[in-house]
């Protein structure tokens, strides 16, 4: 389709009505700095594929955890002195809670994160990621200790707990909910848990939730480091999808979030791998 035809069809599509009270013209779209997030957010919020993938991922995690526990109980019997209780570690945002309504709001208001984020957290109305609660209840049944490691802040603790309690999620006490204090790096908080527990599974939408080998790594290193955990993916390391944001995006900008929206757009464009 020629570009003019695309433009004409977009104008026609948007001219007929308004979206949640916001009228959008082609000119508005061209001025938008958040337009790149529309498709990713559409996919996350409305696609059967995302919902299926999330449930599938948690189904696999549930089965693997049961299997891991059978092996661990046998191993611990032989080695009573060194045996530690099992723990599973989950990220929260886009792993347990769905914050896509916040992303959708930023798009429609042409603002970028963290605009509106505090208000969204305070609303405490995020829905669950499909499959997450089923998994958590199964882990509880298997007597696996559940920890959450999130980069939400202490100031956001009360609203986070409130939101998760509404969904009847387990282990929301201070000891099991490790928020960000000094660093967004999750390894140090995982090591704290490992002082008393054996972490048998880590679940997250950002590769950094699974291992520090991805933390602040450049684009190629980040991509290639997946090979280092390949045999444990789907077993110990459980990766969920999130095309809306994450360190995959940060790596594209070389983690320089002070770049202008235009510079970020250019970085995204330059990161494309083309057919020739």
Closest to Mg ion by CB, 34 or 206: 206
- Is residue 91 near Mg ion by the rule CB under 5 A? yes
Closest to Mg ion by CB, 91 or 249: 91
- Is residue 93 near Mg ion by the rule CB under 5 A? yes
Of residues 241 through 270, those in contact with Mg ion by CB under 5 A are none
Task: Please state the closest distance from residue 94 (CB atom) to Mg ion, in A.
Answer: 4
- Is residue 159 near Mg ion by the rule CB under 5 A? no
Q: What is the rounded distance in angstroms from the CA atom of residue 240 to the CA atom of residue 273?
A: 23
Closest to Mg ion by CB, 34 or 99: 99
- Is residue 98 near Mg ion by the rule CB under 5 A? no
Contact 164, 172 (CB under 8 A): yes
Closest to Mg ion by CB, 142 or 229: 229
Task: Please state the closest distance from residue 150 (CB atom) to Mg ion, in A.
Answer: 7
Region binding Mg ion by CB under 5 A among candidate stretches 89-97, 152-160, 166-174, 193-201: 89-97
Where b means 16+ CB within 10 Å and e means fewer, 34-56 reads: beebeebbeebeeeeebeeebbe
- Chain centroid to Cα 16, Å, comes to 35
Closest to Mg ion by CB, 68 or 206: 206
Mapping DSSP onto H, E and C, the string for 165-192 reads: HHCCCCCCCCCCEEEECCCCCCHHHHHH
Q: What is the rounded distance in angstroms from the CA atom of residue 37 to the CA atom of residue 242?
A: 12
- Is residue 156 near Mg ion by the rule CB under 5 A? no
Task: Please state the closest distance from residue 167 (CB atom) to Mg ion, in A.
Answer: 16
Q: Which long-range contacts (CB under 8 A, 24 or more apart) does 10-19 make?
A: 19/108
Task: Please state the closest distance from residue 224 (CB atom) to Mg ion, in A.
Answer: 22
Sequence-distant (6+) residues with CB within 8 A of 165 are 172
Closest to Mg ion by CB, 91 or 159: 91
Of residues 172 through 231, those in contact with Mg ion by CB under 5 A are 205
Closest CA to 14 of 29, 2, 3, 1: 29
Region binding Mg ion by CB under 5 A among candidate stretches 72-80, 94-102, 154-162, 225-233: 94-102
Closest CA to 210 of 196, 198, 199, 194: 199
Closest to Mg ion by CB, 94 or 145: 94
Distances (CA, A) of 27 to 7, 13, 34, 45, 70: 10, 13, 14, 25, 60
Region binding Mg ion by CB under 5 A among candidate stretches 1-9, 35-43, 91-99, 121-129: 91-99
Name the site residues for Mg ion (rule: CB under 5 A): 91, 93-94, 205
């Amino acid at each position: 389709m020629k570009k003019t035809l695309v433009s004409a069809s977009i104008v026609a599509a948007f001219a007929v009505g308004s979206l949640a009270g916001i009228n959008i013209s082609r000119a508005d779209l061209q001025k938008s700095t958040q337009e790149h997030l529309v498709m990713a957010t559409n996919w996350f919020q409305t696609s059967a594929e995302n919902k299926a993938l999330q449930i599938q991922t948690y189904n696999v995690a549930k089965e693997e955890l049961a299997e891991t526990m059978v092996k661990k109980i046998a191993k611990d019997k032989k080695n009573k002195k060194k045996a530690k209780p099992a723990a599973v570690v989950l990220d929260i945002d886009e792993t347990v809670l769905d914050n896509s309504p916040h992303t959708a709001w930023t798009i429609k208001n042409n603002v970028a994160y963290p605009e509106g984020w505090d208000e969204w957290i305070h609303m405490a109305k995020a829905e669950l990621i499909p499959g997450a609660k089923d998994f958590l209840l199964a882990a509880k049944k298997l007597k696996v200790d559940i920890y959450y490691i999130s980069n939400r802040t202490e100031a956001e603790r009360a609203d986070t707990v409130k939101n998760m309690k509404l969904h009847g999620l387990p282990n929301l006490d201070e000891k099991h909910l490790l928020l960000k204090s000094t660093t967004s790096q999750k390894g140090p908080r995982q090591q704290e848990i490992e002082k008393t527990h054996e972490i048998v599974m880590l679940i997250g939408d950002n590769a950094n939730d699974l291992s520090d080998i991805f933390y602040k790594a450049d684009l190629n290193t980040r991509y290639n480091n997946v090979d280092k955990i390949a045999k444990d993916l789907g077993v110990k390391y459980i990766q969920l999808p999130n095309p809306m944001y994450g360190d995959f995006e940060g790596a594209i900008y070389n983690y320089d979030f002070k770049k202008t929206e235009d510079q970020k757009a250019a970085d995204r464009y330059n990161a494309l791998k083309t057919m020739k």
